């Protein structure tokens, strides 16, 4: 701000900047039962995630789940934890750094987690502190669901309620059928398939599951996953591959979207499939669901049921095709601002 109209004792004000906030789901601070319990309590108390009235749900959550699940989950996290900490946090940080380099000084890029740290409110505050009065919030979920995208917007709204001086905001829309996303997946996964030391007969495209009732309540997630899978299958141009869409991470007793990844892994092996590859195109970064649920438990399920060769393809992460796509999407959403 120019100083000519300001009284001499006016504090310096940074303003006029543009910010980008990448957001992913979240992670505990450490692979310990205490940290996992804290994380799960926040995650499973979100009414967007568990759509059961709190009066009914909270006693179950506090009485049973938070006393049994953290130990199991902590063990799972400890199997995938790296020296840089949680894989999801480390990769999201890498994506933010790569985007900062690509977008240059015109934009400040930061990253946040919906659950755990760094929190959305804290990172929005840091961008405002740095003078960003226009902020693009970019949830890294290609397929929209209320439990993910809407929950990010809820958290942003909560943060805004605490702010006297609010930024102008834009939100990255879901990009499940965007040609840039389909091309990035086809290029990245095609390359990984080509580098395998075996030829898979089947490629599973495993998306995160949701309770089936979310579909009937009008959530577009299921249809968007199916469309991504169909467009990706066309773009891969691999008629030799049987491509199957499945849903992972069922939890609790309700009916979830089907077919379930674990069920299909066992069925494929039992019906004679020897060589199988699996990809998780709905995840923008490798995390517990890909590195432990698919790469460790999925492998066991397939091999124990009679399969022989099994590969989990990595997510787009901070590799070139994925970063080219993110840069293109963000530049489009920032049009008129930069």
pLDDT at 148 over 60: yes
User: In the prediction, which pLDDT does 76 show?
Assistant: 97
pLDDT at 2 over 70: no
- Per-residue pLDDT tens over the stretch 23-60: 999 999 999 999 999 999 999 999 999 999 999 999 99
Query: Alpha-carbon distance 110 to 117, whole Å?
Result: 13
* CA 239 from centre of chain: 29
User: In the prediction, which pLDDT does 6 show?
Assistant: 63
Q: Are residues 148 and 196 in the same domain?
A: no
Strands (E), the chain: 17-27, 107-116, 132-139, 168-171, 202-208, 242-248, 275-279, 309-312
User: In the prediction, which pLDDT does 4 show?
Assistant: 59
Residue 308: pLDDT band by 50, 70, 90 thresholds? Answer: very high
Query: Alpha-carbon distance 335 to 10, whole Å?
Result: 33
When mean pLDDT is compared across 10-19, 124-133, 158-167, the lowest value belongs to 10-19
User: In the prediction, which pLDDT does 252 show?
Assistant: 83
Is this structure's pTM higher than 0.75? yes
User: In the prediction, which pLDDT does 15 show?
Assistant: 83
User: In the prediction, which pLDDT does 139 show?
Assistant: 98
Please state, in angstroms and as integers, the Cα–Cα distance from residue 119 to each residue in 25, 174, 288, following that order: 11, 21, 19
User: In the prediction, which pLDDT does 284 show?
Assistant: 98
pLDDT at 150 over 70: yes
pLDDT at 1 over 60: no
Q: Residue 335 class from Cβ within 10 Å (0-12 exposed, 13-18 middle, 19+ buried)?
A: exposed
Residue at 2 is within a domain: no
- Per-residue pLDDT tens over the stretch 239-293: 999 999 999 999 888 999 999 999 999 999 999 999 999 999 999 999 999 999 9
Residue at 209 is within a domain: yes
Residue at 12 is within a domain: no
Q: Are residues 196 and 305 in the same domain?
A: yes
What is the domain count for the chain?
2
User: In the prediction, which pLDDT does 282 show?
Assistant: 98
User: In the prediction, which pLDDT does 58 show?
Assistant: 97
User: In the prediction, which pLDDT does 22 show?
Assistant: 98
User: In the prediction, which pLDDT does 253 show?
Assistant: 85
Residue at 5 is within a domain: no
Q: Are residues 149 and 208 in the same domain?
A: no
Of residues 7, 274, 257, 11, the one with CA closest to residue 129: 11
CA atoms within 13 A on the CB side of 177: 9
Q: Are residues 257 and 269 in the same domain?
A: yes
User: In the prediction, which pLDDT does 145 show?
Assistant: 98
Residue at 7 is within a domain: no
Q: Are residues 24 and 169 in the same domain?
A: yes
If you average pLDDT over residues 320-329, what whole number do you get? Answer: 98
pLDDT at 202 over 80: yes
Q: Are residues 157 and 306 in the same domain?
A: no
User: In the prediction, which pLDDT does 9 show?
Assistant: 79
Residue at 1 is within a domain: no
Q: Are residues 197 and 230 in the same domain?
A: yes
Percent of the chain with pLDDT over 90: 94
Residue at 52 is within a domain: yes
Q: Are residues 237 and 327 in the same domain?
A: no
Q: Are residues 80 and 167 in the same domain?
A: yes
- Per-residue pLDDT tens over the stretch 215-234: 999 999 999 999 999 999 99
Residue at 317 is within a domain: no
Domain that holds residue 235: 179-312
Q: Are residues 216 and 200 in the same domain?
A: yes
Average pLDDT value over all residues in the chain:
96
Percent of the chain with pLDDT over 70: 98
Q: Are residues 261 and 205 in the same domain?
A: yes
Q: What is the CATH number of the domain that holds 159?
A: 3.40.50.1400
Q: Are residues 103 and 251 in the same domain?
A: no
């Amino acid at each position: 701000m120019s100083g000519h109209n300001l009284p001499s004792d006016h504090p310096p004000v940074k303003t006029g900047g543009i910010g980008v906030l990448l957001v992913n789901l979240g992670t505990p601070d450490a692979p310990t039962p205490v940290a996992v319990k804290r994380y799960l309590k926040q995650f499973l108390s979100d009414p967007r995630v568990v759509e059961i009235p709190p009066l009914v749900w909270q006693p179950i959550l506090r009485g049973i789940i938070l006393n049994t699940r953290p130990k199991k989950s902590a063990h799972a996290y400890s199997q995938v934890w790296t020296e840089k900490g949680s894989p999801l946090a480390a990769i999201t940080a890498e994506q933010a750094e790569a985007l900062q380099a690509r977008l240059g000084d015109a934009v400040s890029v930061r990253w946040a987690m919906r659950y755990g740290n760094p929190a959305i409110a804290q990172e929005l505050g840091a961008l405002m502190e740095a003078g960003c009065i226009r902020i693009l919030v970019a949830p890294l979920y290609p397929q929209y669901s209320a439990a993910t995208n809407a929950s990010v917007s809820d958290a942003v709204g909560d943060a805004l309620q605490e702010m006297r001086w609010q930024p102008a905001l834009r939100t990255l829309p879901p990009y499940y059928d965007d040609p840039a996303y389909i091309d990035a997946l086809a290029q990245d996964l095609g390359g990984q398939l080509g580098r395998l030391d075996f030829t898979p007969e089947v490629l599973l495209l495993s998306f995160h599951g949701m309770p089936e009732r979310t579909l009937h309540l009008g959530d577009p997630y299921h249809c968007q996953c199916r469309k991504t899978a169909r467009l990706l299958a066309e773009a891969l141009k691999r008629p030799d591959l049987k491509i199957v869409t499945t849903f992972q991470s069922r939890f609790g007793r309700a009916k979830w979207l089907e077919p379930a990844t674990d069920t299909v892994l066992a069925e494929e092996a039992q019906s004679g499939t020897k060589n199988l590859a699996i990809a998780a195109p709905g995840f923008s970064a490798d995390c517990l669901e890909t590195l432990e649920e698919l790469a460790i438990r999925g492998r066991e399920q397939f091999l124990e049921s009679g399969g022989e060769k099994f590969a989990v393809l990595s997510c787009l992460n901070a590799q070139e095709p994925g970063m080219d796509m993110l840069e293109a999407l963000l530049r489009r959403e920032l049009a008129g601002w930069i």
